[in-house]
C-alpha cells in the first residue's frame, strides 16, 4: 500500500500531507498518556491511519509514533497496529527493529489469540536483518499448547523460509514441521504443516538431495493413507491440498485404487466445487489405465459436474464449464443427452454463454443436432449482438462436423432473410465455409446469396466471403460480373486488403467463366491492383497480369483449378496438447486451453514454488541460453549463421520460459518474431569492439542529432571475459551479500528505444564482459540480473538493474565480493549501459 | 497460491487491499484490470454486467481471479499455477462472509468497517493459503459489528469486537461446532427453498424446466445434538451436495441425512431435480409489427394451481434498442419503464375475477418497418408453503438432547431463471 495510487482522486479522499502530520502530533500526545479513555481515542486515530493507508496515502512517516502507542492491552488496537507494522516494516527496516520488542513480548502473552496474532505479525515483517529475532518465537510457537498458535507458527516457518532459507533450515524447522504433521491432534495444524513442507521441500529439492527425498517421502503410502483416513477432519481447503497431493501418488495395484476411490466417493457430493473438481481429477488420474473403470468414472462424475455448472455463481460455472469442455473433447458421448444443461439463460454473463455455446457445439451428434440448432437459432435473434454472432458461428461449426446438414443449411439461409446486418455478415462467412466442404449445396445457397445486396455488407470478412462466392459460382449467379464491377468501382473506398485480394481473385475466376462480360472489369481491377499501396495486393495483381500475358490457359489452371471438397478443417489444437492439458486437470491450463508450459514460467511450475528475489524473473533454461549465446558470439564469424539456426530451434523447442508474461495468445508468433529479431541483431556487436568506436558509423540512426554521452572516466578495472556462475549460486550470493552501491542513472533515449530487443542489450553487455543471468519484465519496466568477475581474481560483482523505459531511468543495485572495487565496477557498468543503443 | 486480494468499487477505485505473501502486488494491477474491463464493455457497447471479463484472466504480470458481488469486485492475483475453482470458491466465500458480517455489501459499509474486514481476511487466509471460511467459527473469533455491540460500547466504554475466547471448535473433532453451546430455548427450523429455472418457447412449450433446491437449517440447540432428517420421496432428487457435517453412509444406504449441525443458519444440502413437466403460471406474449409500430400484448394466468397463493409476480423485459418510445398499459398491477429501457410489470397476486394483461404499442426507429428481434420476458414469482418439486420432509429425529426441542418446517418456491421467449 506504500505507493500512493489514486486513479480518480475524489474530493472525499484527503490529499495526504496535512492530515498525516496532524495524526502524527495527536499520536505523540497519546503515546505516554494513561488517562482513562486513551484507548478509545487511540483506536480512532489508528483507524484513521489505517484508512489513509487503505486509500493509498503513504503514512510510513508515523511509524515510530504508532509503535510508541502500541503498548496496550486492547486487542483491536493491537491488531490494527500489527496490520500497520506488517505493511511498512519491509520499507523501514531500521524502525521495524522498534516493534520487535513488543511483538516478542506479545508472543509470550497468556492469551493464545494474542500469542498467535503477534507471531503472525512477527513473521510478516519480512525484514532480512530481523530473522534472528524470529527463530526463538517460532520455535516455541511450534510447541505451543494452543492449536491456534501452532497453526500460525507452521505457516510462519514458510514465511521465514522465504526471508532466509538458510536460517530456516539451520534451525531445523522442516524436521519439526514433519513431526507436527504426523503427530499433531489439530487438523488445521497438520494441514498447514503439509502446505509449508510442500513449498519448502520443493524449493530446497533443487539444491539438496535430502530435501528431494523428503519430498518423495510425502508421496509414500503411509503418509498418503495417514491423510486419506482422516480427510474429513480437515477443512475444505486443506482437503483440496490433500487431494491434489494424492493425485500425484501412484498406487501399486488396482485394489488400492478402488480403496481410495471408495473412500473419497462422497467428496463428489461436497458443497465446495473446488473439492469436487480435485476429486474428479484424482479419479480420472487413478483410472487412466483401466479403460472400463475410466468410463464408469465419467458416468459417476457427470451429475456432480452438471450440478456445479448450474448451482453456483456465474464465476463458478465458468470454471467448471472450462473443465467440462475438456472432458467432452475426450468423451463426447458423455454429455450428449444432457445438452439442455448448456442452454443459455438471458441473464447469464457473456463468458458463461460463450462456454455454453462451445459445449453445445461439442456435444452435438446425430440424435440431438436438430434440437440444439433450434435452440441456437433462438439466440441468433438475441438483442445481444455478440451473443447472436457467437451462436451463428456455433451453428456453422455444428454444420461442419455433421454428416447430415440438410436442416442446418436451411436454418442458415433463413438467417440471411432476417435482414440484420451482423447476422447476415456472420452467416455469409459460414455459408462460404460450408460450400467448401459441401459443394453439393451450392445450388440452394447461391439462390439465396444472390439476393443479398452487396451494399448492406460492411464487415471485411463477410464482404470477402461474398466476393469469394461471386467468383467461385460466377456461372450460377446471373449478375456476378456486374456485382463485381460495382465493387471494383469502389476500390478506392475499400480499406481492407483482404477484401481487395479476394476481389482480384474473384474477378479472375469470373473472367475464365464468363470472359466477354468480365473483360472490362478485369482490366479495371488489374490496373487498380497494380497501383495499390498494399504490397500483397500489388504483388498479386502484378502476378495475375504477367500470368495472363504469359499464357491464359496456364493462368486458368493456377487461378481456377478443379477443387476437392475440404473434408476436415484444420483443428486448432493437436490431440497431444489436449492430452497435456488433461494431465493438468483442475489447473489454470484448462481455463486458458494451453498446457502450462505454454504460459507459466518454468519457475512457477512447481506447486507453489517461487523464490524471493526472482519473483518476476525467469532463470534456469533462459540463462543457459544467454550463456550459450554469449559463447556463440565469441565464435568466429563463419559459424554465425549455423549457430543462429541452432538457436532458432532452441527457442522454439524450449517453448519460451523466457517470457515471464503469460503470452497465451499468439504465443508462437512472439517466439517467431523474437527469433527473427535475433537473426537481425546478431550481426553488429562483436565482443572485442570498444563501444565508442562504432558510434559514428550508423548514419541512419537518429542518434546523430543527440550528443553522444560524455566519456566516462577511464575504467581501471579489468573484467574476466568469460565468467561462470550458475543461477543457484547467484541466488545464494545475492541473499548473502550487502548492497554496496545503489544508485539511479539515466539512459539515453536511443538505448531505451533499443530495449525492445532485450537480446541485443544482453549481447551488448556481454561485449563489456558483463553477463546477464536473468531478465524479465514488460514495457515499461524491465528487470535484469547481471554478473561479472574480476579478471585475475574470482571475486564477483552482482547487479540488479531495473529499467523504466518511460522515465529513461535505471535503478542499480550492485553487490560485490570485494566491496572496495564495487565503485570502479559501477563506473564500468554505467558506461557500458549508457553506451547501449548509441553504438 | 493467492498473493493479494483487492476490493474494488463500482468505479474501479481500490477500497481495500490485502497482501498475502512477501511478493507485494502493486496496485497498478487494479488499474490494468479496470481498463481491461472497460475496454471489453466498450467494444460490445452493452451494459457492463453482461460483458464482464471472464473470471480468470491473465494480465501481463499476474493471473487474476475476480468475482463481482453487489457491484464490488473481489480481485485476487497469483503468479503460480493453482486450481482456478479453488480461488473462485474462496473469493465467493469471502464475499458471503463479508456480506453476512456487514449485513450487506457496499462501498460505504466496507470503508466504515475495514478493520473488521482486515481481521476477517487475516483469519481466512494466511500466506495465500485459505484457512477457515466457516462463518460459525469466524463469528466466535471476531464478533460482527452488531447494533447491540455498539450499544454496549456506549454504555461500558469497551468497544472491543474481539471475543476473548478462542474458538473451541479448532480443538473439537467436529470443526464446525463448538463443544459447549447453551441455548435457553432449543429450536430447530428446516426450510425447503426451491428455485425454478425454466425456458418456455414462443409456442408456450417447455424447453427446459429444472428445480434447484436447498435445505436450509437454523439450529439453536444446546450441547452436541445428533439429527436425522428423512424425506418422503428422496428418489426424485437427481443430484445432491452436502454440507461437510452430513454423514455419507446413511445417505447412501437409505437416503437419510444424518448430521451434527453447526450452530445457527446453514445450508445443509442443495439438490437438483430435472425434467419437470409443469409450471405454475403462464405468460403469453404476442408481438406484431407493421409500418413502424409494434403492438404488444402479454397475458398472465395460472396454469397449474399449486394450492397456495402465487405472490410477487413480476414480468420484466428489455425493450430492444430500435424502439423509440413505448406506450404500455395494464389492467392489473403497475408498469414502469426504467432508464435502461427495461420494462417492469409488477402484478403481485393474480386477481380472481380477471386475467392480468399488458398491452400497448411501441414506436420503432425511423426506417424500420418491422421488429427483427424478439424480447425475452423474465418472470419472477414466489409461492409460500409449497416446494414445487414435490419433495417432502418426512421426519426430523433429534438425539442426544436433554430437553424436547421445538421443530419448525417451512417451504418456499421462487422463480429462478424463468424466461419466456416471444
Distance CA A618, CA A464 (A): 43
pLDDT band at B74 (very low <50, low <70, confident <90, very high): very high
Supply the DSSP string of A7-57, one letter for each residue. SS--TTS--SHHHHHHHHHHHHHHHT---TTHHHHHHHHHHHHHHHHHHT-
For A637-652, what is each residue's pLDDT tens digit?
333 333 333 333 333 3
For B227-258, what is each residue's pLDDT tens digit?
899 988 888 888 888 888 888 888 888 888 89
Contact B272 A37 (CB under 8 A): no
The minimal CB distance from B31 to the residues A7, A111, A584 is found for A7
Contact B83 A586 (CB under 8 A): yes
Lowest mean pLDDT among A111-115, A563-567, B297-301, B381-385: A563-567
For A452-466, what is each residue's pLDDT tens digit?
777 777 888 888 888
Q: Which of B232, B304, B239 lies closest to B273 in space, CA to CA? A: B239
Distance CA A236, CA A324 (A): 22
Contact B56 A319 (CB under 8 A): yes
Q: How far is B395 from chain A (nearest CA, A)?
A: 22
Distance CA B119, CA A303 (A): 38
Q: Which of A401, A817, A410 lies closest to A571 in space, CA to CA? A: A401
Domains of chain A (ranges, CATH numbers):
17-231 (1.25.10.10), 335-452 (1.25.10.10), 610-655+716-839 (3.30.310.10)
Q: How far is B272 from chain A (nearest CA, A)?
A: 7
For A327-357, what is each residue's pLDDT tens digit?
887 777 888 888 888 888 888 888 888 889 9
The minimal CB distance from A83 to the residues B44, B118, B248 is found for B118
At A603 the pLDDT is 41
For B194-208, what is each residue's pLDDT tens digit?
999 999 888 888 888
Mapping DSSP to helix (H, G, I), strand (E, B) and coil, where does residue A185 land?
Answer: coil
- Which of A346, A427, A617, A660 has the most B C-beta neighbours within 10 Å, making it the best mutation to test the interface with B? A346
Q: What is the mean pLDDT of residues A462-491?
A: 83
Lowest mean pLDDT among A14-23, A492-501, A544-553: A14-23
At B178 the pLDDT is 67
- pLDDT reading at B158 higher than 80: no
Tell me the pLDDT of chain B averaged across its residues: 82
Contact A788, A801 (CB under 8 A): no
At B94 the pLDDT is 92
User: Which of A119 and A675 is assigned the larger pLDDT?
Assistant: A119
For A187-243, what is each residue's pLDDT tens digit?
888 999 998 988 888 888 878 788 888 888 888 888 899 998 888 888 888 999 899
How many contacts (CB atoms, under 8 Å) link A and B? 291
Tell me the pLDDT of chain A averaged across its residues: 74
The minimal CB distance from A316 to the residues B26, B85, B114 is found for B85
At A387 the pLDDT is 83
- pLDDT reading at A676 higher than 60: no
For residue A104, with 0-12 CB atoms within 10 Å meaning exposed, 13-18 middle and 19 or more buried, which class applies? middle
Per-range mean pLDDT, top range of A255-259, A555-559, B172-176? A255-259
- CA torsion A90→A93→A98→A102, rounded to 10°? 40
Whether the CA torsion A651, A653, A658, A663 is positive or negative: it is: positive
Q: What is the mean pLDDT of residues B267-294?
A: 86
Q: What is the mean pLDDT of residues A516-538?
A: 85
pLDDT band at B95 (very low <50, low <70, confident <90, very high): very high
Q: Which of A99, A172, A98 lies closest to A138 in space, CA to CA? A: A172
For A724-746, what is each residue's pLDDT tens digit?
777 777 777 777 777 777 787 77
At A334 the pLDDT is 80
Instruction: For residue A221, give the H/E element and its range.
Output: helix A221-229
Contact B319, B343 (CB under 8 A): yes
What secondary structure, in 3-state letters, does chain B show? CCCEEEEECCCCCEEEEEECCCCCCCCHHHHHHHHHHHHHHHHHCCCCHHHCCCCEEECCCCEEEEEEECCEEEEEEECCCCCHHHHHHHHHHHHHHHHHHCCCCCHHHHHHCHHHHHHHHHHHEECCEECCCCHHHHHHHECCCCHHHHHHHHHHCCCCCECCCCCHHHCCCCCCCCCCCCCCCCEEEEEEEEEEEEEECCCCCEEEEEEEEEEEEEEECCCCCEEEEEECCHHHCCEEEECCCEEHHHHHHHCEEEECCCCEEEEEEEEEECCCCCCCEEEEEEEEEECCEEEEEEEEEECCCCCCCEEEEEEEEECCCCEEEEEEEECCCEEEECCCCEEEEEEECCCCCCCCEEEEEEEECCCCCCCCCCCEEEEEEEEECCCCCCCCEEEEEEECCCCCCEEEEEEEEEEEEEEEEC
Q: Are strands B406-421 and B187-200 parallel, antiparallel or unpaired?
A: parallel
For B124-147, what is each residue's pLDDT tens digit?
888 888 888 888 778 777 777 654
Q: What is the mean pLDDT of residues A88-106?
A: 78
Q: What chain A residue is nearest to B202 in terms of C-alpha separation? A: A378
Q: What chain A residue is nearest to B421 in terms of C-alpha separation? A: A378
Contact A383 B318 (CB under 8 A): yes
Distance CA A61, CA A92 (A): 10
For A782-820, what is each residue's pLDDT tens digit?
778 888 887 777 788 888 888 777 777 778 888 888 777
Contact A120 B122 (CB under 8 A): yes
Q: What chain B residue is nearest to A236 in terms of C-alpha separation? A: B244
At B157 the pLDDT is 45
Q: Where do we find the cell 541512419? A: A700
Contact B80 A610 (CB under 8 A): yes
- Which of A271, A416, A605 has the most B C-beta neighbours within 10 Å, making it the best mutation to test the interface with B? A271
Contact A322 B84 (CB under 8 A): yes
Distance CA B239, CA B237 (A): 6
For A70-79, what is each residue's pLDDT tens digit?
777 777 778 8
For A500-512, what is each residue's pLDDT tens digit?
888 888 888 888 8
At A580 the pLDDT is 64
Distance CA A374, CA A391 (A): 11
Query: Which residues in chain B touch residue A304, judged by CB atoms under 8 angstroms apart?
Result: 239, 241
- pLDDT reading at A497 higher than 90: no
- pLDDT reading at A571 higher than 90: no
Read off the C-alpha cell for B397. Answer: 429425529
Read off the C-alpha cell for A551. Answer: 499464357
- pLDDT reading at B153 higher than 80: no
Q: What is the mean pLDDT of residues A109-132?
A: 82
The minimal CB distance from A270 to the residues B13, B242, B251 is found for B242
At B215 the pLDDT is 92
At A566 the pLDDT is 66
The minimal CB distance from B58 to the residues A56, A117, A599 is found for A599
Query: Which residues in chain B touch residue A299, judged by CB atoms under 8 angstroms apart?
Result: none
At A637 the pLDDT is 38
Mapping DSSP to helix (H, G, I), strand (E, B) and coil, where does residue A287 land?
Answer: coil
At B366 the pLDDT is 79
For A698-727, what is each residue's pLDDT tens digit?
333 333 333 444 444 444 677 777 777 777
Q: What is the mean pLDDT of residues A155-162?
A: 88
Cα–Cα–Cα angle for A538, A503, A559, rounded to 5 degrees: 80
Query: Which residues in chain B touch residue A265, judged by CB atoms under 8 angstroms apart?
Result: 248
For B2-35, what is each residue's pLDDT tens digit?
889 999 888 888 888 888 887 778 888 888 888 8
**% of chain A with per-residue pLDDT over 70:** 77
Amino acid at each position: 500500500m506504500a505507493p500512493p495510487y489514486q486513479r480518480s482522486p475524489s474530493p472525499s479522499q484527503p490529499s495526504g500531507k496535512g492530515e498525516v502530520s496532524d495524526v502524527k502530533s495527536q499520536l505523540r500526545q497519546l503515546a505516554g498518556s494513561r488517562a482513562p479513555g486513551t484507548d478509545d481515542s487511540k483506536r480512532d486515530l489508528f483507524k484513521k491511519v489505517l484508512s489513509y493507508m487503505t486509500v493509498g496515502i503513504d503514512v510510513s512517516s508515523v511509524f515510530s509514533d504508532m509503535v510508541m502507542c502500541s503498548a496496550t492491552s486492547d486487542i483491536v488496537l493491537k491488531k490494527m497496529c500489527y496490520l500497520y507494522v506488517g505493511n511498512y516494516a519491509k520499507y523501514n527496516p531500521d524502525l521495524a527493529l522498534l516493534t520487535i520488542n513488543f511483538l516478542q513480548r506479545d508472543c509470550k502473552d497468556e492469551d493464545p489469540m494474542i500469542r498467535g496474532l503477534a507471531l503472525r505479525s512477527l513473521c510478516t515483517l519480512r525484514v532480512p536483518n530481523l530473522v534472528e529475532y524470529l527463530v526463538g518465537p517460532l520455535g516455541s510457537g511450534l510447541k505451543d499448547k494452543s492449536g491456534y498458535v501452532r497453526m500460525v507458527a507452521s505457516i510462519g516457518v514458510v514465511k521465514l523460509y522465504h526471508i532466509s532459507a538458510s536460517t530456516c533450515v539451520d534451525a531445523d524447522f522442516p524436521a519439526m514441521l514433519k513431526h507436527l504433521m504426523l503427530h499433531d491432534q489439530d487438523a488445521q495444524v497438520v494441514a498447514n504443516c503439509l502446505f509449508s513442507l510442500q513449498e519448502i521441500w520443493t524449493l530446497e529439492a533443487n539444491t539438496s538431495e535430502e530435501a528431494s527425498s523428503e519430498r518423495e517421502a510425502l508421496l509414500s503410502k503411509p503418509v498418503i493413507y495417514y491423510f486419506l483416513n482422516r480427510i474429513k477432519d480437515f477443512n475444505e481447503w486443506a482437503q483440496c491440498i490433500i487431494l491434489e497431493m494424492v493425485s500425484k501418488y501412484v498406487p501399486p495395484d488396482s485394489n488400492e485404487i478402488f480403496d481410495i476411490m471408495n473412500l473419497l466417493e462422497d467428496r463428489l457430493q461436497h458443497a465446495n466445487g473446488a473439492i469436487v473438481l480435485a476429486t474428479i481429477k484424482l479419479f480420472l488420474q487413478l483410472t487412466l489405465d483401466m479403460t472400463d473403470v475410466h468410463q464408469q468414472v465419467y458416468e459417476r462424475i457427470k451429475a456432480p459436474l452438471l450440478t456445479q455448472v448450474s448451482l453456483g455463481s456465474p464465476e463458478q460455472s465458468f470454471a467448471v464449464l472450462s473443465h467440462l469442455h475438456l472432458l467432452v473433447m475426450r468423451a463426447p458421448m458423455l454429455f450428449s443427452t444432457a445438452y439442455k444443461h448448456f442452454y443459455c439463460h438471458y441473464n447469464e454473463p457473456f463468458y458463461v454463454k460463450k462456454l455454453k455455446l462451445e459445449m453445445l457445439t461439442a456435444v452435438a451428434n446425430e440424435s440431438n443436432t436438430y434440437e440444439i440448432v433450434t435452440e441456437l437459432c433462438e439466440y441468433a435473434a438475441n438483442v445481444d449482438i455478440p451473443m447472436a454472432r457467437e451462436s451463428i458461428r456455433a451453428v456453422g461449426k455444428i454444420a461442419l462436423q455433421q454428416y447430415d446438414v440438410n436442416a442446418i443449411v436451411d436454418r442458415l439461409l433463413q438467417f440471411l432473410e432476417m435482414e440484420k446486418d451482423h447476422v447476415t455478415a456472420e452467416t455469409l462467412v459460414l455459408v462460404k465455409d460450408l460450400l467448401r466442404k459441401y459443394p453439393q449445396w451450392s445450388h440452394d445457397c447461391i439462390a439465396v446469396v444472390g439476393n443479398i445486396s452487396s451494399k448492406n455488407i460492411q464487415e471485411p470478412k463477410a464482404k470477402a466471403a461474398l466476393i469469394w462466392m461471386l467468383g467461385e459460382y460466377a456461372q450460377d449467379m446471373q449478375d456476378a460480373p456486374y456485382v463485381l464491377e460495382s465493387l471494383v468501382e469502389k476500390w478506392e473506398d475499400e480499406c481492407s486488403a483482404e477484401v481487395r485480394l479476394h476481389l482480384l481473385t474473384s474477378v479472375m475466376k469470373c473472367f475464365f467463366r464468363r470472359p466477354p462480360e468480365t473483360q472490362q472489369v478485369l482490366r479495371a481491377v488489374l490496373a487498380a491492383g497494380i497501383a495499390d499501396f498494399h504490397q500483397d495486393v500489388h504483388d498479386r495483381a502484378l502476378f495475375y497480369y504477367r500470368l495472363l500475358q504469359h499464357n491464359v490457359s496456364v493462368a486458368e489452371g493456377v487461378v481456377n483449378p478443379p477443387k476437392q471438397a475440404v473434408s476436415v478443417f484444420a483443428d486448432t489444437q493437436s490431440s497431444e496438447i489436449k492430452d497435456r492439458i488433461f494431465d493438468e486437470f483442475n489447473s489454470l491450463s484448462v481455463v486458458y486451453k494451453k498446457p502450462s508450459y505454454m504460459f507459466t514460467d518454468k519457475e512457477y511450475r512447481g506447486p507453489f514454488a517461487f523464490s524471493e528475489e526472482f519473483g518476476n524473473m525467469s532463470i534456469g533454461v533462459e540463462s543457459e541460453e544467454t550463456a550459450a549465446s554469449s559463447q556463440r558470439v565469441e565464435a568466429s564469424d563463419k559459424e554465425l549463421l549455423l549457430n543462429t539456426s541452432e538457436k532458432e530451434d532452441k527457442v522454439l523447442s524450449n517453448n519460451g520460459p523466457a517470457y515471464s508474461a503469460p503470452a497465451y495468445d499468439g504465443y508462437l508468433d512472439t517466439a517467431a518474431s523474437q527469433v527473427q529479431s535475433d537473426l537481425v541483431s546478431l550481426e553488429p556487436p562483436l565482443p572485442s569492439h570498444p563501444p565508442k568506436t562504432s558510434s559514428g558509423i550508423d548514419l541512419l540512426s537518429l542518434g546523430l542529432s543527440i550528443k553522444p554521452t560524455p566519456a566516462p572516466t577511464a575504467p581501471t578495472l579489468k573484467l574476466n571475459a568469460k565468467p561462470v556462475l550458475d543461477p543457484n549460486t547467484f541466488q545464494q550470493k545475492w541473499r548473502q551479500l550487502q548492497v554496496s552501491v545503489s544508485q539511479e542513472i539515466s539512459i539515453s533515449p536511443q538505448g531505451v528505444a533499443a530495449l525492445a530487443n532485450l537480446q541485443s542489450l544482453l549481447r551488448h553487455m556481454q561485449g563489456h564482459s558483463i553477463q546477464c543471468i536473468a531478465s524479465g519484465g514488460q514495457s515499461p519496466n524491465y528487470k535484469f540480473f547481471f554478473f561479472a568477475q574480476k579478471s585475475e581474481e574470482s571475486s564477483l560483482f552482482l547487479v540488479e538493474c531495473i529499467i523504466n523505459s518511460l522515465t529513461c531511468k535505471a535503478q542499480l543495485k550492485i553487490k560485490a565480493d570485494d566491496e572496495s572495487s564495487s565503485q570502479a565496477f559501477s563506473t564500468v557498468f554505467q558506461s557500458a549501459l549508457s553506451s547501449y543503443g548509441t553504438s | 497460491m493467492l498473493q493479494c486480494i483487492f476490493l474494488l468499487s463500482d468505479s474501479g477505485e481500490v477500497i481495500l487491499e490485502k497482501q498475502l505473501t512477501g511478493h507485494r502486488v502493486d496496485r497498478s494491477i487494479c488499474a490494468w484490470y479496470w481498463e481491461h474491463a472497460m475496454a471489453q464493455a466498450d467494444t460490445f457497447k452493452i451494459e457492463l454486467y453482461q460483458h464482464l471479463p471472464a473470471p480468470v484472466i491473465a494480465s501481463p504480470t499476474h493471473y487474476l481471479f475476480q468475482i463481482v458481488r453487489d457491484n464490488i469486485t473481489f480481485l485476487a492475483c497469483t503468479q503460480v499455477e493453482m486450481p482456478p475453482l479453488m480461488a473462485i470458491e474462496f473469493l465467493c466465500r469471502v464475499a458471503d462472509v463479508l456480506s453476512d458480517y456487514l449485513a450487506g455489501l457496499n462501498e460505504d459499509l466496507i470503508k466504515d468497517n475495514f478493520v473488521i474486514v482486515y481481521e476477517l481476511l487475516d483469519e481466512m487466509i494466511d500466506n495465500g493459503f485459505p484457512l477457515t471460511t466457516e462463518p460459525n467459527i469466524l463469528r466466535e473469533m471476531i464478533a460482527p459489528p452488531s447494533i447491540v455491540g455498539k450499544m454496549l460500547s456506549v454504555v461500558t466504554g469497551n468497544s472491543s469486537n474481539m471475543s476473548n475466547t478462542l474458538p473451541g471448535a479448532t480443538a473439537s473433532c467436529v470443526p464446525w461446532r463448538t463443544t459447549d453451546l447453551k441455548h435457553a430455548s432449543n429450536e430447530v427450523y428446516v426450510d425447503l427453498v426451491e428455485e425454478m429455472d425454466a425456458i418456455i418457447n414462443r409456442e408456450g412449450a417447455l424447453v427446459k424446466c429444472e428445480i434447484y433446491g436447498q435445505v436450509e437449517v437454523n439450529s439453536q440447540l444446546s450441547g452436541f445434538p445428533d439429527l436425522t432428517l428423512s424425506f418422503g420421496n428422496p428418489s426424485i432428487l437427481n443430484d445432491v451436495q452436502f454440507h461437510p457435517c452430513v454423514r455419507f453412509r446413511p445417505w447412501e444406504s437409505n437416503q437419510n441425512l444424518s448430521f451434527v449441525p453447526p450452530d445457527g443458519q446453514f445450508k445443509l444440502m442443495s439438490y437438483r431435480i430435472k425434467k419437470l413437466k409443469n409450471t405454475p403460471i403462464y405468460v403469453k406474449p404476442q408481438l406484431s409489427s407493421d409500418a413502424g409500430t409494434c403492438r404488444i400484448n402479454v397475458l398472465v394466468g395460472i396454469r397449474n394451481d399449486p394450492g397456495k397463493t402465487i405472490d410477487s409476480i413480476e414480468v420484466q423485459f428489455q425493450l430492444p434498442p430500435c424502439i423509440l418510445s413505448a406506450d404500455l398499459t395494464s389492467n392489473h398491477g403497475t408498469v414502469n419503464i426504467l432508464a435502461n429501457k427495461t420494462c417492469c410489470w409488477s402484478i403481485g397476486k393474480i386477481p380472481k375475477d380477471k386475467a392480468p394483461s399488458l398491452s400497448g404499442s411501441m414506436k420503432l426507429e425511423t426506417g424500420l418497418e418491422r421488429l427483427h428481434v424478439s424480447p425475452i420476458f423474465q418472470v419472477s414469482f414466489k409461492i409460500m408453503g409449497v416446494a414445487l418439486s414435490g419433495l417432502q420432509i418426512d421426519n426430523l429425529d433429534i438425539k442426544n438432547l436433554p430437553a424436547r426441542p421445538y421443530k419448525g418446517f417451512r417451504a418456499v418456491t421462487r422463480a429462478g431463471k424463468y424466461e419466456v421467449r416471444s
